[in-house]
Amino acid sequence: MKKLITAVLSAMIVMTTSLNAGDYLPYNPQDAVGAAAFMKTEAAKETAKTGLEGTIINTYLIGKHMSVADAEAKLKAAGFEIVANYASVKKGTTIVFTDAALKAQAAKPMRSNVAVMRLFVDDQEKMISITNPVYFGKAFMQEEYDHTVFNAELEKINKAFPGLKASKDEWEFDGLSSYHFMISMPYYKEVDVVGEGTNEELLAKAKSHKKGKGLIFELKLSDTTTLLGYALSKRTSKFVKKIGRANAGILPYCLTISDGKATALSAKYYIAISYPLLDMNGFMGIMTIPGAVIKDYEKVFK
C-alpha cells in the first residue's frame, strides 16, 4: 500500500525545471531581459496576459546579508511601510512590510493575506530572503491578480536591493492561482475558522489573550477587515527548523478578522505554497502542525 501511495503521489506532483539564479528578474513583459528570460514550459492558460504565462517563477528573492536596521531603511526609502519585525527563528528576523497598493488589493473580499510582504534577515546563514510579490500576488489574488500592481511592487524591491537572485523555490506561474499541494488538500480560499463573534469582540480577544503577548501587528484594511500577525506557540513554530530556516519569513503567521469571523490560511496550503520544494516525506515530518495551528488560534478566541 505504501508503494502504491508513493507512486500515485509521484504522478500528481508537478516537477519543475531548475533554472540559473537571476533568470527571472525583472518580470516586465516590455523589457527585453524580462519575460524573454523565462523558460517556456507550456501554452498560456490565462485570458488576461501578463507575459509570464508558461513560465516558472521563483518564490523568493535572495540577496546579500545586511542588518535589520539597514534592510528597514532601504524598504522605507523605497516607499514601503514597516509593519513589524519578528524573531521568526534563532538568529533570524522577519521584517513585515506593506504599502498603499498592497493594502488596496488586500481590502478586497478574501484577499487580506496579500497585504504584507516579508523580508527575512538570516544572521546565521548571512543572507536575506524577500517574498516575491508576483508569486504571492498571483497565488493570493487568483483570478483577480493585477500584474501591473504586483510587478510594480517587484520593481520597487529590485531597485531598493540591487543584485537579488532567484530562489531555488519556484512554481509554475499558471498554476499558482489554483495551487494546492495534492488531491484532497485545501486551496487558498479554504481557510480555517478559529473564532466567531463581532469584529470588535474578536479583536478584543486577540489583544487580551495572554495580555496580548502574541499580537505582532494589527493592520486595518477596511471597515470590515483587519489583518493580524499573531505568534504561534513555541512548540508549533518549530516546524520552520525542521523544513528549512531559509523560508522562516513564513512567520509570523497571520489571522484575518472579517465579517464576524477569525480565519487563518490552512497550514496545509500556506506551508506548501511557501515551501514549494517540500515533498511528501517533508510534510510527513510536520504532519501535526496544521492541527496545532488551529488549536493555537482557537485558544485565542475562546
Question: DSSP of 145-164, one letter per residue?
Answer: --HHHHHHHHHHHHHHSTT-
Name the grid cell of 267. 497550514
Question: Is 225 in contact with 107 (CB distance < 8 Å)?
Answer: yes
Give the type of residue at 215. Answer: L
Choice between 265 and 39, residue whose per-residue pLDDT is larger: 265
Number of neighbours of residue 33 by Cβ within 10 angstroms = 9
- Segment 264-295, tens digit of pLDDT: 999 999 999 999 999 988 888 999 999 999 99
Closest CA to 289 of 262, 260, 251: 251
Of 39, 41, 37, nearest to 25 by C-alpha is: 37
Pairing of strands 225-230, 215-220: antiparallel
Q: How many CB atoms lie within 10 A of CB 8?
A: 12
pLDDT for the residue numbered 2: 43
**Is the model's pLDDT at 101 over the cut of 50?**
yes
Averaged over 96-108, what is the pLDDT? 98
pLDDT of 118 above 50? yes
22-33+58-176: CATH number: 3.30.310.70
In SS3 terms, 19-76 reads as CCCCCCCCCCCCCCCCHHHCCCCCCCCCCCCCCCCCCEEECEEEEECCCHHHHHHHHH
- Grid look-up 498560456 returns 44
Which pLDDT band holds residue 48 (cuts at 50, 70, 90)? low
Checking if the pLDDT of 203 tops 90, the result is: yes
Q: What percent of the chain is predicted at pLDDT more than 90?
A: 78
- pLDDT at position 17 is 36
C-alpha to C-alpha distance for 138 and 174, rounded to whole angstroms? 9
> What residue has cell string 485545501?
186
The C-alpha atoms of residue 190 and residue 226 are separated, in whole angstroms, by 18
**Distance of CA 203 to CAs 89, 152, 298, 300, Å?**
26, 32, 13, 10
pLDDT given for residue 1 in this prediction: 45
Question: Binning pLDDT at 50, 70 and 90, where does residue 30 land?
Answer: very low
The dihedrals phi and psi of 262, each to the nearest 5 degrees, come to -105, 120
Q: pLDDT-derived band of residue 233, with 50, 70 and 90 as boundaries? A: very high
Q: Which ranges in the chain are annotated with CATH 3.30.310.70? A: 22-33+58-176, 192-300
Higher local confidence (pLDDT), 23 or 187: 187
The structural architecture, per CATH, of the domain 192-300 is: 2-Layer Sandwich (3.30)
pLDDT tens-digit map of 165-197:
999 999 999 999 999 988 889 999 999 999 999
65 CB neighbour count, 10 Å cutoff: 14
8 A C-beta contact, residue 171 and residue 18: no
- Report how far residue 240's alpha carbon sits from residue 235's, in angstroms, rounded to the nearest whole number: 11
- The DSSP call for residue 202 is H
User: Over 70: is that where the pLDDT of 13 sits?
Assistant: no
